[in-house]
Structure 1
């Protein structure tokens, strides 16, 4: 995983998994916000409010 992820940055963490839409176009992962494990509650609150992309909770490093 990169040293720093920023909101809106495209990134695939860990195992590569490709997702395609009904027309076969590759869909890319978009990170909305990265939270530390200590801020996991804030991450879930953000998720409930709604997010543009994925909410990530960093558990190591």
Structure 2
């Protein structure tokens, strides 16, 4: 998978939101860089199988 660039997110995630739709789910994670205080936002699109996995994991907690 050489066509996929590596991306690094610095800082701890301090807020996460999940939105579901007919295509699965989108996870949005907000981070704050500990050195600069800069806030970053990352999106992850989960397919239906991934969204079902997350639902099962959250339901078993």
Normalising by structure 1, report the TM-score: 0.31
Normalising by structure 2, report the TM-score: 0.31
Where relative contact order (Cα < 8 A, 6+ residues apart) is larger, the structure is 1
Q: Rg: which structure is higher?
A: 2
Structure number having the greater strand percentage: 2
